[in-house]
Amino acid sequence: MSFRNKIFAAFSIVTIVLIMAISVVFYYYSSETLEENSKENLKVMTDKLANQLSQLLKPMEFISWDFIASREFMEEMATITYIKPDTIEDAYDINRAQVNINQIIHRDSLSQNFYGVNVFNKKGDFFTSNNNNYVKPQNSKSIVNQLPWKEQAQQAQGKSILIAPYDDPWENSHQKVFGLARVLRGHNIDMGYIEVQVKNEEFENIFILPQQEEYRIVVLNDDQVLYQKNVENTRLLEYYQEVADRGIDQVTDYKNPHLNNKEIFGKKIIPDWKITILLVQDYSKLMSPVYDMRRIVIAIGLISAFIAFIGMSVFSKYLTRPIRELQQCMESIEIRNLPEQIVLKNKGNEIEALNQSFQDLRTRLNDSIEREIQNHSLVLQANLDMLQAQINPHFLFNVLNMISNKGMEQENYEIGEICEAIANLLRYTTSTGQKTVTLSDEIDYTKNYLMLMEKRFEDRLKCVVDIDEEMMKMEMPKMILQPLVENALNHGYKNTTKTMYVSIYGVIKENIWKITVKDSGEGFEEAVLSEIRSQMVRVRNKIFLEKESLELEIGGMGIVNTYLRLLLCYGECADLKIRNNEQGAEVELSAPWNRF
């Protein structure tokens, strides 16, 4: 694929992804915003409906309590309920009580604010504030006995109950009304009932909403449905009753199993009346503006993408023209014309920079070739040096063997032991076949060195080696321990002639191996100790933080170089601790078990 096509494809992919990303973000943002606004709107509307319904019920409740609180009214009700017209005086008292109750109930405030306030008892006595009401005395008692809410009122024991819209049984026109009723109780005996009515139109006007057809409304009083709107069937109404009992938050959403769609529910409870208002909105109708916007966004995106493709095709052709010219010039370059400058007709800052980079590349290439030639010479010299290093130990082994034989002839076996130890040391240090050895090999090498030092210092040197047997087969770098022992002998006892004690301990603890080299010498001077620790910190930082390469000091096998070799072999988990103790100095090496 040509560079031009790659640019065109890249810009095309970026454009498509960008348009899709913007469209998706806009769609989801619009959806979330519209859903949040709708939920907030449902919350406001349910609060408003609950407030309006409370404002309707409070005066009705107040009037019923006002009658009960009236001592005169309750006494007159007791008179017509308890006294029988057996005598003329009793009949007179009953008649007087009926007149007084009519006077109490026929108030302008009642007729103006309510459709009717009715007071009646089981005997058939009936009083109403509705002047248009007319019921024959012989019908009152039968109407009372047929009232469907009578038993509910009795069970409420004087508390008010709500009556779902019903046809007023006291009026011939059967006006539909919404009511509140309660039992009139005196001395634990029911004296009758009081019923406060408003026209059903006034009750239903509370639930008139803008765009009424988009909402379903259910108003419940315990198990009684006071009002429902746009609920198509009984199963759906029962489902909404079940949702109302779930204890949902004020606004939430559920999938309706009967309509097989998602709905948003607004719920408000009026605790004083045990009323639950449920306002339901279809989610698909709610999101219809977003669906329309989605189609518009898709159309705009496709048009924008088409225009962008045309523009990118022209732009990519113009943009890659200098690159094609540079390519042609680069293909014509040979070794004889490398120093010549490339002159471009169509150029820009980036193309000029690319041309300059190509010129710099040629310069660096020539330098690299020269360095490669030099490096090749150095490799040849290194091979010769290595061959010489292999020849020199061979000569030394022959000399040592000759000295050992002379000692044997003179029956001086100590000379043979010394020569054998030196030969072992040379053989160990000059062998290049293995980069790692076992700890057992390293201990043997160190013991050979200590044996030579014992010959040198005679009785002044005492050595102890105590290593866990499990560690002896552990792999580790060569010449790790001997430099530490040599350092202890060379620096720990340079100003004293006392007996030298050197101890080597090795243990495995918590999957970490530790080898400690101790001496009984003078210990480290504080300045020297501080300098060594600083060098160790610098070495560790260069390897693991600055990621720089380090070279071992030629001929250097001291503490810092030993620490560097540990880090290179075991990584960050390796550690070397150096400190003074009461007897002298000690160096502790540690690394994870089986980590090499």
- The CB density around residue 217, as the number of other CB atoms within 10 Å, is 24
Whether residue 351 has pLDDT greater than 70: no
Whether residue 549 has pLDDT greater than 70: no
- Give the HSE-up count for residue 264: Cα atoms under 13 Å, Cβ half-sphere: 21
- Point out which residues pair with 343 in neighbouring strands: none
| Sheet strand arrangement including 461-467 | 461-467, 500-509, 512-519, 585-592, 575-580
Mean per-residue pLDDT for 305-324? Answer: 75
| Sheet strand arrangement including 275-282 | 224-229, 215-221, 275-282, 261-270, 251-256
Residue 406 vs residue 159, higher pLDDT: 159
pLDDT in tens, 437-477: 888 988 888 888 888 887 787 778 888 899 998 888 888 88
Whether residue 1 has pLDDT greater than 80: no
CA-CA distance, 556 to 45, in Å (whole number)? Answer: 88
Considering the four listed CATH numbers 3.40.1190.20, 3.40.50.300, 3.30.10.20, 3.30.565.10, the one that applies to the domain covering 451-592 is 3.30.565.10
Whether residue 554 has pLDDT greater than 60: no
DSSP conformation class of 552: P
CA-CA distance, 128 to 500, in Å (whole number)? Answer: 126
Whether residue 556 has pLDDT greater than 50: no
Q: Are 522 and 492 in contact (CB under 8 A)?
A: yes
Supply 323's token pair: 């690159």
pLDDT in tens, 79-120: 888 888 888 888 998 899 989 998 888 887 888 889 989 999
CA distances from 516 to 300, 326, 477, 525, 564 (A): 77, 66, 16, 19, 17
Give 559-566's long-range contacts (Cβ < 8 A, gap of 24+).
559/483, 559/484, 559/487, 559/532, 559/587, 560/532, 560/535, 560/536, 561/483, 562/480, 562/483, 562/484, 562/589, 563/536, 563/539, 564/539, 565/477, 565/480, 566/477, 566/480, 566/591
Point out the least confidently predicted range of 19-28, 67-76, 270-279. 19-28
Exposure pattern of 229-261 as b/e (b: 16+ CB <10 Å)?
bebeeeebbebbbebbeeeeeebebeebeeeee
Point out the least confidently predicted range of 16-30, 186-200, 272-286, 418-432. 418-432
CA-CA distance, 552 to 25, in Å (whole number)? Answer: 59
Closest CA to 263 of 237, 291, 295, 287: 287
Whether residue 552 has pLDDT greater than 50: no
Confidence of residue 399 (pLDDT cuts 50, 70, 90): low
Whether residue 336 has pLDDT greater than 60: no
Closest CA to 516 of 471, 465, 574: 465
Closest CA to 586 of 497, 494, 484: 484
Q: HEC states along 180-229?
A: EEEEEEECCEEEEEEEEEEEHHHHHHCCCCCCHHHEEEEEEECCEEEEEE
pTM tops 0.75: no
Report the chain's mean pLDDT, rounded to a whole number. Answer: 80
Residue 388 vs residue 128, higher pLDDT: 128
Q: Which residues lie below 8 Å from residue 452, measured CB to CB, with a gap of 6+?
A: 418, 421, 422, 425
Percent of the chain whose predicted confidence (pLDDT) is above 70: 80
pLDDT in tens, 572-582: 888 999 999 88
Whether residue 553 has pLDDT greater than 50: no
Question: Which is the CATH superfamily of the domain at 38-283?
Answer: PAS domain (3.30.450.20)
Place of tokens 């709610």: 286
How high is the pLDDT of residue 416? 67
Supply 462's token pair: 């005492």
Report the residue count for the chain: 596
CA-CA distance, 107 to 116, in Å (whole number)? Answer: 11
Percent of the chain whose predicted confidence (pLDDT) is above 90: 20
Q: Are 193 and 182 in contact (CB under 8 A)?
A: yes
Residue 368 vs residue 25, higher pLDDT: 25
**Single-letter code of the amino acid located at 50:** A
CA-CA distance, 98 to 95, in Å (whole number)? Answer: 5
The ranges assigned to domains in the chain are 38-283, 337-389, 391-433, 451-592
Whether residue 555 has pLDDT greater than 50: no
Radius of gyration of the chain (CA): 54
- Give the HSE-up count for residue 57: Cα atoms under 13 Å, Cβ half-sphere: 21
Closest CA to 158 of 193, 120, 122: 193
pLDDT in tens, 153-170: 988 888 999 999 998 888
